[in-house]
Chain A
């Protein structure tokens, strides 16, 4: 069953095409991922679904009804976890949850019960008496999620919920997302971290420059680049011309520097090594390791846009 449908959605700011004619559907009970680099249009799309801003054109339907015309249809059914920590740092965790509970019309015993349940889910039950400004980054992120769960939303939108936190908190959040989904919650998850989207999302839409450039399950997306492989080369040191030399090899589709590695995209993973070593030996570079990686969403994105997700 389609819970949310986006039809030809556009959002133009003065001289910027933030979202440029996108369409997709989110089915009830799925985790739908929006993957794309910073500035791809993910947050603008989410802001329109959240009724925070009106689209320039297009339609957003929630259970078949237009929320562009009638925002109240979705407002009480929707939980939004903003990318920024939208909390009051000088209030305690409890008072923050209480306030956001009030914002969804919860009061009295029901509110206290929900604060109890939510604080259990986010793992902050014994930390609620502390002021938020005494929380770690990860705890703030978790409370930020908790504030969106109080009213048991049908649809939860999470906008980059793991930005800037430690791996332990990230894992906790990702597990929470899966747990909530198991309980029947539909989730839209945006991130520029390919691994997160791969881990939690059942269907993924890849965005770039305000457009959706690919959409499907993880396997469907990887099928786009069927047969392609990713090779990473590590060097003691490498000269500037080595990337150009590698790009010159016939079966290499692309090569670029990522941190201290050179990443190569190719359709010929087995026989290419000889050519690579020959080309590298003509430069002042010395390889320390070669690693063949399976294709992933990063490779797909690279294939589709010619740039890295981290660009």
Chain B
């Protein structure tokens, strides 16, 4: 008998088991559809990005802070280091340089940014309400002393720390990250200008031409505004690391596929003991079929069924849910290696279940361990929002490795970027198969005989 004969027979049995098909084929399709629609807000796609609405909260008082700045020019540490005539020129600069104009008109209303961001200025409590109701994706808080600090930074040789706070909604993780990025680009640009201005002032002091600099304060101010207007942050709408965005449909198609292939391991894990219980295992042994062939047959059955599962999921999600799996050749390679690892796991469970002689182990695996692996592997919640430790653990699970690989291919990475995941899948598959062979090497007693005879015998 060939291994293939055993695998074909087992595959026929699996495909005739309606309950198993419902769990392993229908369930992932249904769950993917439900989760993709329900948790779509966590993701984005090319079609669904649209404009990101934000609220801006002004915690400063512009009039008071301008007054404070003017006061510090004449009384504070600034006045001690700058001549009176220069201070007058700076004071004049305050009238010509509007910080609010720089932030709102020159930056947020910049053509490029306006394509992505739409803002309204509200009170903090209103902003929080809007965010909780997901009417906006983030809140940008301009802190107290924002105006004062910005004037200090732009017009004096000193530099105060300005911290713009961004609050995002956890369900709109992707858009939140965009807002964060835009705000960071604002602070980066202003920092560049401030550093440039400080270098200019320091050089002018060294060269004793500071008067010239302050005489040309108008030009400095113009440079600042022109720079901010022209150098808007470069926003290219790509996902992490500049790759393709992933829709919830794509993500959950891969996530559910990676999770539900584990059920093949559980199902296949029962088959060896079932053969023994049905006496078909003993019948094969009597016919001279090697027990190793039977074991390898189980391995290939699980491998083949897992591939069928993946094929159905990829086809369904591509054509019905419009999921984008990326390069289909690489997806095929990932699928074969993931199925290989699942087959190794299923074979190990089969051997353990066979040795223990009951189905407790497979039941625990199906009802508990798969759920834990699914969570750790990122099948329920995207892995990048989970703690670092769990992200590490995900690389030790078959579903985590498969999902990470699919995920990267969806984003447009090449096979080189996922080689480590693929290598781990192969290692896991080989390792588990070796353990299975080691545990299966001892011959066992057949309870076919014990059940019939031993119970009724006199004790020796």
Contact = CB atoms under 8 A, between A and B. Distances in A.
Interface string B1-26: 11001000100110011000000000
Contact of B459 (A15, A53, A71, A76): A15
A83 interface: yes
Interface string A83-109: 111111011000100011011110000
B283 interface: yes
Interface stretch (A44-52, A168-176, A277-285): A44-52
B454 A47 contact: no
A15 B288 CA distance: 29
B286 A50 contact: yes
Interface string A1-40: 0000000000011011110000000000000000000111
B138 to A, nearest CB: 56
A39 B9 contact: no
Contact of A80 (B280, B286, B450, B456): B286
Interface stretch (B63-71, B298-306, B441-449): B441-449
B457 interface: yes
A41 B279 contact: no
Given A88-B13, A90-B16, A104 B287 contact: yes
B31 interface: no
Contacts of A286: none
A58 interface: no
A87 B285 CA distance: 14
Given A39-B452, A53-B446, A90-B17, A18 B287 contact: no
A43 interface: yes
Nearest to B274: A88
Contact of B280 (A50, A88, A105, A210): A88
B279 A44 contact: no
B455 interface: yes
Contacts of B142: none
Contact of A18 (B283, B284, B446, B449): B449
A82 interface: yes
A201 to B, nearest CB: 20
A47 to B, nearest CB: 5
Interface in B295-340: none
Contacts of A51: 285-286
Contacts of B283: 80, 82, 86, 100, 103, 147
Interface in A261-305: none
A52 B446 contact: yes
Main secondary structure of the interface of A (DSSP, over half): loop
A12 B457 CA distance: 10
Contacts, number: 118
Contacts of A13: 445, 450, 454, 457
A87 B287 CA distance: 14
A183 interface: no
Given A99-B5, A100-B287, A103-B287, A84 B460 contact: no
A91 B1 contact: no
B282 A86 contact: yes
B458 interface: yes
Contacts of B204: none
A217 interface: no
Q: With a 10 A CB-CB cut-off, give which of B286, B288, B446 has the most chain A CB atoms.
A: B286
B213 interface: no
Nearest to A147: B283
Nearest to A104: B287
A76 B448 CA distance: 21
Nearest to B288: A75
Contacts of A42: 453
A209 interface: yes
Contacts of B9: 88, 91, 95, 99
Interface residues of B, number: 33
B23 to A, nearest CB: 16
Contacts of B454: 13, 16, 18, 44
A192 B395 CA distance: 59
Given A16-B457, A16-B459, A18-B454, A90 B446 contact: no
Contacts of A131: 16
A17 B453 contact: no
Contacts of A147: 283
A78 interface: yes
Contacts of B282: 52, 82, 86
B216 interface: no
B460 A105 contact: no
B287 A43 contact: no
A263 to B, nearest CB: 23
A114 to B, nearest CB: 14
A73 to B, nearest CB: 10
Interface string B240-281: 000000000000000000000000000000000000001110
Contact of A43 (B17, B452, B460): B452
Contacts of A87: 278, 280
Contacts of B56: none
Contact of B448 (A41, A52, A103): A52
B289 interface: yes
A78 B12 CA distance: 27
A95 B12 contact: yes
A102 B5 CA distance: 7
A103 B291 CA distance: 12
Contacts of B279: 82, 84-86
Closest 6 CB pairs of A and B: A39-B456, A75-B288, A86-B279, A103-B287, A102-B5, A86-B283
Interface of A: 12-13, 15-18, 38-44, 47, 50-53, 71-72, 75-76, 78, 80, 82-88, 90-91, 95, 99-100, 102-105, 131, 147, 209-210
13 contacts: A13-B454, A18-B449, A18-B457, A40-B453, A52-B282, A78-B286, A83-B452, A86-B278, A88-B9, A90-B13, A91-B16, A104-B1, A209-B457
Given A13-B450, A104-B288, 5 more contacts: A16-B457, A18-B457, A39-B452, A40-B453, A80-B286
